[in-house]
């Protein structure tokens, strides 16, 4: 598994801090990136992949501050979400149209008992 703050995310964090404005990360993006090796570092210049299979709004109650260097974001996928495979996850600031962070990992398959497809 690899995790990184993107260069665009780092720049946005610095700019908003200088302005005294908050950064609101409010979306998860899940993608299935072909040929990805989750043991390799992520290019910090990365943007949203063309292969996004699902996006989810992050409700305020699913965002938490731990300390000045650590935050937590959660995404709940209900039984009405699926069927898809993903191996890439991004944290996105919709207000500034910026991918702030990305993570890669071995592929995960989400099955919906309701049989919905994307």
Q: How much is the average pLDDT of 46-53?
A: 96
DSSP 49: -
CA distance 48 to 90: 8
Is the predicted pLDDT of residue 118 greater than 50, yes or no?
Answer: no
Question: pTM of the prediction?
Answer: 0.88
CA separation, residue 48 to residues 27, 32, 60, 67, 93 (Å) = 12, 11, 22, 27, 12
Q: For position 115, what pLDDT does the model report?
A: 57
Taking the chain, what is the end-to-end CA distance rounded to the nearest angstrom? Answer: 26
Q: What band does 68 get if pLDDT is binned at 50, 70 and 90?
A: confident
């Amino acid at each position: 598994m690899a995790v990184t703050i993107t260069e665009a995310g780092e720049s946005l964090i610095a700019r908003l801090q200088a302005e005294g404005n908050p950064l609101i990360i409010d979306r998860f993006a899940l993608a299935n990136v072909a040929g990805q090796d989750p043991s390799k570092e992520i290019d910090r210049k990365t943007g949203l992949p063309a292969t996004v299979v699902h996006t989810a709004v992050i409700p305020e109650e699913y965002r938490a501050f731990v300390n000045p260097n650590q935050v937590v974001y959660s995404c709940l996928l209900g039984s009405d979400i699926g069927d898809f495979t993903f191996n890439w996850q991004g944290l996105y600031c919709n207000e500034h149209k910026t991918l702030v962070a990305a993570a890669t990992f071995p592929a995960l398959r989400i099955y919906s008992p309701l049989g919905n497809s994307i």
